[in-house]
Amino acid sequence: MKAFVFPGQGAQFPGMGKDLYESNAEARRLFDEANEILGFDITAIMFGGTAEELKQTRVTQPAVFLHSVATALCLGDKFQPDMVGGHSLGEFSALVAAGALSFADGLRLVSARAQAMQKACEAQPSTMAAIIGLADADVERICSEVNAEVGTCIPANYNNPGQLVISGTVEAVGVACERLKAAGAKRALPLPVGGAFHSPLMQPAKDELQAAIEATEFQTPKCPIYQNVDGQAHTEPSEIKANLIAQLTASVRWTQEVQAMLAAGATEFTECGPGKALQGMIAKIAKGVEGITIQGATDL
């Protein structure tokens, strides 16, 4: 069975999507439509902007979404998923590719999400860090202690066994990193992000996005979508909406999501969009399973 997966924020790179735009009429249509919907020339930043310009959340999220959806839709009849999933932002790409959301509605929601998250980041100095080489239970325990003693600090992204990203206030994450290294973590790496994604500090963004999601029409997807908040398959539009809203302040349970896809019969994972980050994670969760990456015209 074929699983198609979609990356999240952080997968962007300068020049992303340019070869697709130049070689594929469907990609050109989507990219031009995105410029109109967003009200600024996002393709100019994607094709010719610097890495620093691409790192702005209001640009990054629509750019990764646009690139990801375009690669999937440009596959045409070859896009025949038995299941889909996405990492954080990638869940919106997955929903559009699977027909649960129109491209225009998906892009508007992603833009609203990006702007709401940017505001939440500016309102509260916060950060994230990747913890390498420690059991999830140990990370959870130490985060719980720091959360009670210092400030917000929670496990945010369960990326694969031995790699868990934590999220919270700058002070709390700093204290947690020191304690986690003392507990045996191989590395505790601060991430170059502007906020504590997937933590309670995103509550203002969640409140803002909730209204936009509830006002948007969702259809039943053509195949199950595995969602981050519980790692399980969903097809009911009301459930999908609720999980998308909850996702902003909840942990991304990517490890559990991939494991659930495997249990449902997935034998091949195709990553659509910029980068190969998900394939690296999947290889550590599902050893020996075939992985395919589609991010440019040559791959198509």
**72-118 per-position pLDDT tens digit:** 999 988 999 999 999 999 999 999 999 999 999 999 999 999 999 99
* pLDDT tens figures, 183-225: 999 999 988 777 899 999 999 999 999 999 999 999 999 999 9
Mark whether 150 and 101 lie in a shared domain.
Answer: no
Contacts of 36 (CB under 8 A, 6+ apart): none
Contacts of 238 (CB under 8 A, 6+ apart): none
Mark whether 204 and 185 lie in a shared domain.
Answer: no
pLDDT for the residue numbered 175: 97
Mark whether 265 and 184 lie in a shared domain.
Answer: no
pLDDT for the residue numbered 182: 96
42 in Cβ contact with 34 (< 8 Å): yes
Q: Within a domain: residue 29? A: yes
Number of domains into which the chain is organized: 2
pLDDT for the residue numbered 300: 74
pLDDT for the residue numbered 274: 95
pLDDT for the residue numbered 297: 76
pLDDT for the residue numbered 77: 87
Q: Within a domain: residue 300? A: no
Residues designated catalytic: 88, 198
pLDDT for the residue numbered 148: 96
Q: Give the residue numbers spanning the domain of 157.
A: 125-190
DSSP state of 197: T
Mark whether 72 and 39 lie in a shared domain.
Answer: yes
Question: Domain boundary residue among 169, 190, 211?
Answer: 190
Q: Within a domain: residue 299? A: no
165 in Cβ contact with 129 (< 8 Å): yes
Mark whether 279 and 150 lie in a shared domain.
Answer: no
Helix or strand or coil: residue 164? strand
Mark whether 62 and 129 lie in a shared domain.
Answer: no
Q: Within a domain: residue 195? A: no
Mark whether 164 and 284 lie in a shared domain.
Answer: no
Listed as ranges, residues in the chain with pLDDT below 70 are: none
